[in-house]
Amino acid sequence: MSALERMCFLVSRRHTPFHLDAYTNYAPTPPQVEWFDVHAQLTRQYQLFFYESDNSIEMVKPQTAHRTSSPPPTNMKLKRHEKTNLQQYDTKQKRTFLKRTKTDDLVLQDFHIGAAVNVYARQLTIVDYGDDFTRSKLSQQMESSLVVIKPDAIEKAGDIIDLLLTNKFVICRMRMLAFNRQLAEELCLVSFGAQPYFSDYASSFEGGRAMALEVMRSNASVELQRIAGPAIVADAKSTSPSSIHAKYGHVGYKNGLHASENAKTAKKELATIFEAANQKAIRTAVFKHSTLAIIRPHAMHSGLAGKIMASICQHGYKITDAQIYNLDRVNAEEFLEVYKTVVPEYKLMVDQLTSGPLLALEITHPQHTSDDIVSSFRELVGPNDPELARNLRPKSLRALYGSDKVRNAVHCTDLEADGILEVQFFFRIMASNVF
């Protein structure tokens, strides 16, 4: 098999570091996988492998003592699990945990540093690469970069995000924030230093809500600069009229979007926004006259996030806060508890909500208050069953983007009294644990 056909990931159930490795015939030392056993209160280590050739995965014992060109030993005790071929070896007990199996839910783009993947109800977090070979190969294939949708283009965030997804970018992290002057200047310093245009460029981040995204693809920075266009709006409209700066910018450096110039700068920018900004950025949720929307993991995986956001805004609603989350099962069950005894698909709903990253949105409307914002937005979302929605409300979000009762693209608050409570769950309780 080729070098990139088999990927090995170190993963963690508790969001502790794990590694990613790509290799041939077990040649490099494989990385480890960690999963927190809630019953034993122990962190157990395993390895997760991804085979790009047939989209299969397995989990095996790490080769910690030496490198070998042979497969793992076959005399380990096999622990059988229902309906699976996933393979995983317990590193202390030296037994197979799960065998290799093909999966339709995971693709190579799902495996990147910081991502959470769900393997048979176990949420595993990818932390690092396993060796220099993998780091070199996959860093080129999946380069990280920062994108900031500035306040002057925030109403078009859905269109811009859809454009990024169309250009094969993968969104790893996303959060809405309001820049103060200190954070804007810190970002500019790591981006390009003390240039003559420093003050004007820093000012372009201020004055309202902005959206920060970590995106990945091959040659991410180069591709971002290509689709963004010249930094000054007049130049962009003159030389690159189809670019983001030309289409969504206003004037000067208020160009709608900031994108990292190169991979080295991107690393510093991402640290500034996603690691340091928690103390310096302003949370944008209003917690008043608002309701919650969740773009479900299957819709995120299908690249529908931008289209759904754009559809929401086209109907006059405003997105006043947004953030990507990876829910564990405990939090998902708590959030969906109201449906536990009344919806037959409750367990499947929990499975879907924990199957990958979701995008939580706080939704407001200038003409709706707390008395009717929930019911008004629920009408836009449509009936729970997309097939029914296509017959009764063909222009609703679930009719346009859903596939069945569980994979219906969008969750929205159902009860008037729960609007603010659901918003608080994500943008007060959960948000404090993410960055």
In the predicted structure, residue 139 carries a pLDDT above the cut 60 = yes
In the predicted structure, residue 67 carries a pLDDT above the cut 60 = no
In the predicted structure, residue 7 carries a pLDDT above the cut 50 = yes
CATH code at 142-280? 3.30.70.141
Lowest-pLDDT range of 23-27, 36-40, 270-274, 296-300: 23-27
What band does 138 get if pLDDT is binned at 50, 70 and 90? confident
Cα-only R_g, the chain = 23
Specify the DSSP class assigned to residue 16: -
Give the pLDDT score at 211. Answer: 98
Give the pLDDT score at 48. Answer: 78
In the predicted structure, residue 340 carries a pLDDT above the cut 60 = yes
Domain ranges of the chain: 6-139, 142-280, 291-433
Three-class secondary structure of residue 95 per DSSP:
strand
Closest CA to 6 of 156, 171, 138, 167: 138
**Which residues face 116 on adjacent strands?**
125
Measured CA distances, 113 to 223, 378, 397 (Å)? 20, 35, 31
Domains 142-280 and 291-433 agree in fold: yes
Asked if 214 and 161 count as a contact pair (C-beta separation under 8 A), the reply is no
In the predicted structure, residue 39 carries a pLDDT above the cut 50 = yes
**Which residues face 171 on adjacent strands?**
215
Percent over 90 (pLDDT), the chain: 61
Average pLDDT over residues 101-123: 79
In the predicted structure, residue 85 carries a pLDDT above the cut 50 = no
Lowest-pLDDT range of 75-89, 181-195, 251-265: 75-89
The kind and range of the H/E element at 111 are none
Closest CA to 404 of 315, 291, 299: 299
What band does 131 get if pLDDT is binned at 50, 70 and 90? low
Q: pTM of the prediction?
A: 0.83
Closest CA to 328 of 40, 123, 124: 123
What band does 208 get if pLDDT is binned at 50, 70 and 90? very high
In the predicted structure, residue 161 carries a pLDDT above the cut 90 = yes
CATH 3.90.180.10 fits 291-433, yes or no: no
Sign, Cα dihedral of 229, 235, 241, 245: positive
As a dihedral over the C-alpha atoms of residue 393, residue 398, residue 404, residue 406, rounded to 10 degrees, the angle is: -130
In the predicted structure, residue 192 carries a pLDDT above the cut 80 = yes
In the predicted structure, residue 277 carries a pLDDT above the cut 70 = no
What band does 345 get if pLDDT is binned at 50, 70 and 90? very high
Give the pLDDT score at 182. Answer: 92
Calculate the average pLDDT of the chain: 83
Give the pLDDT score at 275. Answer: 81
The kind and range of the H/E element at 219 are none
Give the chain's length.
Answer: 435
Asked if 185 and 282 count as a contact pair (C-beta separation under 8 A), the reply is no
Helix ranges restricted to H, 142-291: 157-166, 181-192, 198-203, 220-228, 233-239, 244-248, 263-274, 277-280
Give the pLDDT score at 8. Answer: 64
Give the pLDDT score at 201. Answer: 96
Lowest-pLDDT range of 183-192, 277-286, 302-311: 277-286
Give the pLDDT score at 10. Answer: 60
The whole-angstrom separation of Cα 299 and Cα 287 is 26
pLDDT tens for residues 396-431? 999 999 999 999 999 999 999 999 999 999 999 998
Average pLDDT over residues 219-244: 97
In the predicted structure, residue 104 carries a pLDDT above the cut 70 = yes
